[in-house]
Amino acid sequence: MIKRQKPTKAGTVKLTFELPVSEPEGPVSVVGDFNDWQPGVHELVPGRNGSRTATVTVPAGTTLRFRYLADGGRWFDDDNADARDEHGCLVSV
């Protein structure tokens, strides 16, 4: 799931990426053009509600490309993304 907050007066938007805490097992990072595709920069953190999340702040009015990277080098996409192509998921803010 991807949650978007309203743009701030400074022209940024907070995006929260959310996955179940146990699927897939082990650490998961959200990586994309907003963090130069660096694993571990935005690792999803478990919460009290049975999910894990990572929040990024990005400029409003942009389209971002991202994927998830699970333990063991397994890449996967988010079914809730605005679109997908051969390079990953797309989300517009």
Would you kindly state where each structural domain of the chain is located, as residue ranges?
2-92
pTM over 0.85: yes
Bridge-based pairing of strands 12-20 and 28-32 is unpaired
Q: Over 90: is that where the pLDDT of 22 sits?
A: no
Q: Which whole number is the average pLDDT over 33-41?
A: 94
The confidence score (pLDDT) of residue 51 equals: 93
| CATH (residue range 2-92) | 2.60.40.10
Confidence bin at 48 (pLDDT 50/70/90): confident
Sheet containing strand 2-4, strands side by side: 2-4, 12-20, 51-59, 45-46
